[in-house]
Structure 1
Amino acid sequence: MQRITITIDDDLLATVDQLCQERGYNSRSEAVRDIVRDAVLSPRAAKTGSGMCSATLSYVYSHGTRDLARRLTDEGHHHGVSVASMHVHLDHDDCLEVAVLRGPADALRSYADAITTQRGVRYGYLHLIPEEGGTQAEHVHEHRIIPSV
């Protein structure tokens, strides 16, 4: 690791210190590293056309909206980028869904658009994380079926 020195005005330093306190950083260095990573990864993810990415898609939807749950499930099967998901009932009407995704960035954006533009879905957010190299082949685990005796 390299040590650097930066000059920062008092107001901005106070903001960094507040961020450290709010998020529980042990040092300013940890906070600044995360800020720089975010500044570098976010634009890189935005520019990643068909490069491989991992992602999370989080959204809130009204489970009472007619046929919405079926449409959301159909989109997941159609796009083939979903790795796992978690479903939480927030209250009587609303559910939170968090999907872990993997695939080409274009496909992930397309899937996110297909989900978040459905009537009854709101607060959609896609967080893309570019994979190193950006074009890696998908990692596949071999599954063996052991016959029962």
Structure 2
Amino acid sequence: MKRITITLSDDIADALDHYMNESGAQNRSEAIRDLVRRAMLDLKNGPEDADCIGVVSYTVDQTARSLATRLAKRRLDAHDRHVAAVSVPLDHSTALEIEVTRGKLGEVGAAAQKLFLERGVAHGALSVVPVATGGAMHAHEGQAEPHRHLHVRQSFNPARDEEEGQV
């Protein structure tokens, strides 16, 4: 184990102490290890060309000039990637937006980051699910169009998925 020294602002140190008490961590080092481990698990580290489903959530200030128009145009411009969107009004000027998108990890991540930089957008978060398209082309009874299904993978690492019998 390596020992490192870090400097934290008083606010962050207080928040860390609160987290330590709430989580049951025995000391600050244990709390920091837990937080770093979680952050590293949340990294969207996979090949940019890996297929994924992305769930994007964010709040929108409806009073921001032209934001509604820009968001609608953004969805229309990427109509092939957008699966669903829902808007939940929170108060008279703020809504929580949730979008489900599909595509390559690099595209989904870049689109989310660009969205989060829009004036009037806050609290942005992206969660990704690694997927693969597989199986033979088939059609269900009464369905004219043949298709393949998406399969949820355990990771963006195909070798790991094979080891776990997920392919």
Which of the five TM-score ranges fits, normalised by the shorter chain? 0.5 to 0.7
Q: CA deviation at 1:92?
A: 0.9
Where does the alignment leave 5 or more consecutive residues of structure 1 unmatched? 1-10, 17-35, 145-149
More strand by share: 2
Structure 1 segment 1-16 matched on structure 2, within 5 A: 15=24
Q: Pick closer, same or farther for the CA change 1:94–1:53 going to 2, 3 Å.
A: same
Q: Deviation digits for residues 103-125 of structure 1, max 9, x if unmatched?
A: 10111012112211111101010
Q: Pick closer, same or farther for the CA change 1:48–1:42 going to 2, 3 Å.
A: farther
Structure 2 counterpart of 1:111: 111
Q: Using the alignment, how far apart are the partners of 1:40 and 1:68 within structure 2?
A: 32
Structure 1 segment 81-100 matched on structure 2, within 5 A: 81-100=81-100
Q: Deviation digits for residues 72-109 of structure 1, max 9, x if unmatched?
A: 11111223321001101100111100001111011101
Q: Pick closer, same or farther for the CA change 1:112–1:83 going to 2, 3 Å.
A: same
Q: Pick closer, same or farther for the CA change 1:41–1:104 going to 2, 3 Å.
A: farther
**Larger relative CO (CA 8 A, sep 6+): 1 or 2?**
1
Structure 2 counterpart of 1:128: 128
More helix by share: 1
SS at structure 2 position matched to 1:96: strand
Q: Deviation digits for residues 46-92 of structure 1, max 9, x if unmatched?
A: 22311000110000010111110110111112233210011011001
- Contact kept in structure 1, 2:48 and 2:107, CA below 8 Å: no
SS at structure 2 position matched to 1:54: strand
**Amino acid across the alignment from 2:72:** T
The count of aligned residue pairs is 109
Q: CA deviation at 1:40?
A: 8.8
Q: Pick closer, same or farther for the CA change 1:40–1:113 going to 2, 3 Å.
A: closer
Q: TM-score, normalised by structure 1?
A: 0.60
Q: TM-score, normalised by structure 2?
A: 0.54
Structure 2 residue 67 is the aligned partner of structure 1 residue 57: no
- Contact kept in structure 2, 1:62 and 1:95, CA below 8 Å: yes
Where does the alignment leave 5 or more consecutive residues of structure 2 unmatched? 1-19, 26-36, 145-167
Q: Cα RMSD (Å) of the superposition?
A: 3.3
Structure 2 residue 71 is the aligned partner of structure 1 residue 78: no
Q: Using the alignment, how far apart are the partners of 1:40 and 1:66 within structure 2?
A: 36
- Contact kept in structure 2, 1:86 and 1:97, CA below 8 Å: yes
Structure 1 counterpart of 2:66: 67
Identity of aligned residues (%): 26
